Chains A and B, each alone.
Chain A
Amino acid sequence: MYSFELKKADSVANAAALLSQTKGKPLAGGQSLVAAMKLRLAQPGTLVDLSGIAELKGIRKEGEHLVIGAMTRHAEVAASKEVQSIIPALAALAEGIGDRQVRNMGTIGGALANNDPAACYPAAVLGLNATVNTNKRKIAADDFFKGMYATALADDEIITSVSFPVPKKAAYVKFVQPASRFALVGVFVAQTGSGVRVAVTGAGASVFRAKPLEDALGKSFTADAAKAVKIGASGLNNDIHGSAEYRGHLISVLAARAVAAAG
């Protein structure tokens, strides 16, 4: 990788100031960023290490929300008794990210800020209508994901935590791309306070809500209702692992399985 300067932040304010001064990038678990830097695909001049910031850690219930600190590792979310009992779909999703070694380092804040088109957490955040809390504001899920590897975050903006409203029912089903084990297609289905939400990752440039499925499931929250929805190929990814048509087909199939799993 190319040379860079490493700064360790001791607070959110300190981190934001450093990012602003240096025009650098925040370093969370590094599972995506270090990998990209090794391949010389990313060349930040400065990295601001967030791992020492206490206020970014922790999982807690706040009223009807589950709040997860941005530096919480996937393995911690997966193993948390709180998450398992309050939003089990979220714990199960975290357990399926990457592999065990990746889960011990990767963080929810890092995953969301990176917004890989096939990552799992974006589907949970969009599917559950979560709020992304930053050092500057609160960003609704529908406003957060902007495109491939692109989010609403400003360059000196740091995710501090994510607030998940507790759903009535929810489940996530992922069909893996066999090489990367990222989602070839992943579907998060939730019955939330504001209706049924269906978030799809892996199939498009970024996570998106599948309105036809939301409409059908809003009328009848059953696996058959989901399976009957035909998702066309338009706008979907096409690569050596699957055509757009195949991905469209999988969206309905996985949505149906998620509905069945949601109970």
Chain B
Amino acid sequence: MSVQLSLTVNGKAVKADVDERTLLVEYLRNQLALTGTHVGCDTGQCGACTVLVDGRAVKSCNMLAAQVNGGKVQTIEGLAAADGTLHPMQAAFKECHGLQCGFCTPGMVMSALDLVARHPNADEKKIREELEGNLCRCTGYQNIVRAVKTGAAAMAK
């Protein structure tokens, strides 16, 4: 049993024939070799799999690839410029030491983009609340919060 998919990933149109069961994260990692999006749990809570679908942060482990048919997906690999210049949010995470092992980081950065789009002037309290769907075991979140604030300010320029 398979489904025919037609969608845009990081600006490129892609077509595929996938097993119905294929989760969006499996499609991205296994079929498109975009391994920057990670799987950290099986109850849809850790957020390491967060990508943007039509501009909104979603957990790619908790949806079927088929649910995104016709949609636009952006993953961590699609953020930096073609010449390698980091997106301001990526640069902010590096500047603020908002990552240690890096495993939660792609999901964290994509989530931050959605957060900033909705709440461009979020304060520390709001950022902490809005990061509820992204677990980190390494950083204690403090530098991630600073990074999101710094990235938001840079993006506002």
Please give, as numbers and ranges, the residues of chain B lying within 8 Å of A6 by CB-CB distance.
1, 3, 20, 64, 66
Please give, as numbers and ranges, the residues of chain B lying within 8 Å of A49 by CB-CB distance.
66-67
Interfacial residues of chain A within 1-54, with CB under 8 A of chain B in the complex: 1-6, 27, 30-31, 34-35, 38-39, 49, 51
Contact A4 B67 (CB under 8 A): no
Interface string of B1-22 (1 = CB under 8 A from A): 1010000000000000001110
Contact A35 B44 (CB under 8 A): yes
Chain A residue nearest in CB terms to B69: A8
Give the size category of A's interface with B.
20 to 34
Chain B residue nearest in CB terms to A4: B20
* Closest beta carbon of chain A to B120's beta carbon, Å: 14
Whether B47 is near chain A, meaning CB under 8 Å from some CB there, is: yes
Q: Which of B1, B56, B61, B118 contacts A3 (CB 8 A)?
A: B1
Interface string of B116-157 (1 = CB under 8 A from A): 001000000000001011100000000000000000000000
Please give, as numbers and ranges, the residues of chain A lying within 8 Å of B1 by CB-CB distance.
3-6
Residues of B in contact with A (beta carbons under 8 Å apart): 1, 3, 19-21, 23, 42-45, 47, 50, 53, 56-59, 61-64, 66-67, 111, 114-115, 118, 130, 132-134
Chain B residue nearest in CB terms to A73: B56
A3-B1, A5-B20 known; A105-B63 Cβ under 8 A: yes
* Closest beta carbon of chain A to B131's beta carbon, Å: 8
Q: How far is the CA of A5 from the CA of B1 in the complex (A)?
A: 7
Whether A102 is near chain B, meaning CB under 8 Å from some CB there, is: yes
Q: How far is the CA of A99 from the CA of B44 in the complex (A)?
A: 10
B interface: dominant SS: mixed
Whether A168 is near chain B, meaning CB under 8 Å from some CB there, is: no
Please give, as numbers and ranges, the residues of chain A lying within 8 Å of B53 by CB-CB distance.
104
Residues of A in contact with B (beta carbons under 8 Å apart): 1-6, 27, 30-31, 34-35, 38-39, 49, 51, 75, 79, 98-102, 104-105, 180-181
A3-B1, A5-B1, A34-B62 known; A101-B67 Cβ under 8 A: no
Q: Which of A38, A39, A100 contacts B130 (CB 8 A)?
A: A100
Q: Which of A27, A51, A99 contacts B47 (CB 8 A)?
A: A99
Please give, as numbers and ranges, the residues of chain A lying within 8 Å of B45 by CB-CB distance.
180
Chain A residue nearest in CB terms to B66: A6
Contact A101 B20 (CB under 8 A): no
Which of B19, B42, B44, B134: most chain A Cβ within 10 A? Answer: B44
